[in-house]
C-alpha cells in the first residue's frame, strides 16, 4: 500500500501546495480522497497515470475539495479508461454531479457511478473494506477509513516440523481449510496465523468530535487536517476546522500509530509551528508536503 499526497493546502493553493487530494494505491485499486483544483496535473507531476484511479471519495462539496473533478473526468473520458469510475460522497452528491454535467460540456461520456453514503461500511471485497462517518463542518461532511482485511500466513517453522510439503495442502491451509496429513486432520490454526490488516483513516474539515475517534481508532496511519496552530483554536471552531494540536490529541486518544497532517491554511509559509504543535502531544507526527509518499 502506498499513499501519495497530491495536495496539502486548504481553501487557497500556494506556490508549494495544491488543494486537497490524497491517493491510496492498493493492488489494482486506486482510491482518491478528495479532488481539489489541479489534481490531474499533480498526478502527472507525481508520475501516476490517471487511469489508476478506480474510486473517488469526496469528503464534502466545498470547492477546494471537488474543483478538480470536472478536469479529472474530462481527461479520463479522453483516455483508454476501461473501468467504471466509482464516486462516493455525502448525501446530495448525485444532484451536484448532475449540475456539474449541466455546467460543463464533455465531448465524451465517462463510464461512472455516483453513490451517496452515510455511516458505516459502504464498500467491501475480499481484500479490504471502506467505512465512513459523518463529521461536523456545517455542511454534509464525511470522514473515511480504509481497512485491509487480515491475511492468513503460513508458520514455516511449524510446517517444517510437521513435514507438510509445499504445494496444494498449504494452499488449502492458506484458504482457512483443514487438511489430512500423516493420518491426522490438521486445522489451519495449527500451522498458520492471521496477520492483522492495515488501517488508514482520512479526516478533514471538521471540528474534533466523537466520530473522529471512531474513524481513527487503532489506525496504522491517520491522515488528518491541521488547518491552524493551537494559537488559532477559536478561528478553527468558528470555521469548522481542527488545529494541529487537536489532531495530535485525536491520534493519542485513538491509539494511532502514525499521524500525517494535511490541509494547512495558506497563512503558514512553512509548517514548522504546526508540526511542533502536534509533536508536543503525539511524537510520531509529521506535516505532509505535496508529492510526499508514505508506504504501509
Which pLDDT score is estimated for 59?
Answer: 97
Helix 39-46 to helix 69-78 angle (10° resolution) is: 60
In a shared domain, residues 188 and 277: no
Q: Which residues are catalytic?
A: 64
pLDDT tens digits for range 71-117: 999 899 888 788 899 999 999 999 999 998 888 887 777 889 999 99
In a shared domain, residues 34 and 95: yes
In a shared domain, residues 72 and 47: yes
In a shared domain, residues 88 and 114: yes
pTM: 0.88
In a shared domain, residues 38 and 140: yes
Q: Which portions of the chain are predicted below pLDDT 50?
A: none
CATH code, 136: 3.60.15.10
Which pLDDT score is estimated for 219?
Answer: 97
In a shared domain, residues 57 and 130: yes
Split into its structural domains, the chain has a count of 2
In a shared domain, residues 68 and 143: yes
DSSP string, 156-209: HHHHHHTTPPSSHHHHHHHTT--EEETTEEE-HHHHEEEEPPPEEEEE-SS-S-
| Mode of pairing for the β-strands spanning 112-116 and 85-89 | parallel
138: left (phi over 0), alpha (psi -120 to 50) or beta: left
In a shared domain, residues 136 and 173: no
In a shared domain, residues 63 and 121: yes
In a shared domain, residues 144 and 170: no
Q: Which domain holds residue 261?
A: 2-150+196-295
pLDDT tens digits for range 34-57: 999 999 999 999 999 999 999 999
Given 193, 223, 249, which residue is the final one in a domain? 193
Which pLDDT score is estimated for 252?
Answer: 96
Which pLDDT score is estimated for 45?
Answer: 96
In a shared domain, residues 209 and 188: no
In a shared domain, residues 43 and 108: yes
Amino acid at each position: 500500500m502506498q499513499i501519495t499526497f497530491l495536495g496539502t493546502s486548504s481553501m487557497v493553493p500556494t506556490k508549494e501546495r495544491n488543494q486537497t487530494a490524497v491517493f491510496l494505491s492498493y493492488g489494482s485499486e486506486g482510491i482518491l480522497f478528495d479532488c481539489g483544483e489541479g489534481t490531474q496535473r499533480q498526478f502527472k507531476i507525481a508520475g501516476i497515470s490517471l487511469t489508476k484511479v478506480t474510486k473517488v471519495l469526496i469528503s464534502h462539496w466545498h470547492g477546494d475539495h471537488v474543483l478538480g473533478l470536472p478536469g479529472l473526468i474530462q481527461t479520463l473520458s479522453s483516455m483508454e479508461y476501461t473501468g467504471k469510475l466509482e464516486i462516493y460522497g455525502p448525501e446530495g452528491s448525485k444532484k451536484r454531479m448532475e449540475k456539474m454535467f449541466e455546467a460543463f460540456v464533455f465531448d465524451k461520456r465517462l463510464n461512472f457511478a455516483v453513490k451517496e453514503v452515510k455511516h458505516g461500511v459502504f464498500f467491501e471485497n475480499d481484500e479490504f473494506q471502506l467505512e465512513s462517518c459523518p463529521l461536523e463542518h456545517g455542511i454534509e461532511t464525511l470522514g473515511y477509513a480504509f481497512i485491509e482485511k487480515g491475511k492468513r500466513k503460513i508458520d514455516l517453522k511449524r510446517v517444517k516440523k510437521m513435514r507438510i510439503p509445499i504445494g496444494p495442502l498449504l494452499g488449502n491451509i492458506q484458504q482457512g481449510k483443514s487438511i489430512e496429513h500423516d493420518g491426522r486432520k490438521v486445522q489451519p490454526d495449527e500451522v498458520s496465523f492471521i496477520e492483522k490488516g492495515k488501517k488508514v483513516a482520512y479526516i478533514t474539515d471538521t471540528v474534533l468530535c466523537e466520530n473522529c475517534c471512531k474513524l481513527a481508532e487503532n489506525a496504522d496511519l491517520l491522515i488528518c487536517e491541521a488547518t491552524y496552530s493551537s494559537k488559532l483554536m477559536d478561528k478553527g471552531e468558528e470555521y469548522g476546522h481542527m488545529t494541529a494540536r487537536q489532531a495530535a490529541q485525536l491520534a493519542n486518544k485513538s491509539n494511532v500509530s502514525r499521524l500525517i497532517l494535511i490541509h494547512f491554511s495558506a497563512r503558514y509559509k512553512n509548517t514548522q509551528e504546526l508540526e511542533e504543535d502536534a509533536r508536543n502531544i503525539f511524537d510520531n507526527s509529521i506535516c505532509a508536503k505535496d508529492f510526499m509518499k508514505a508506504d504501509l
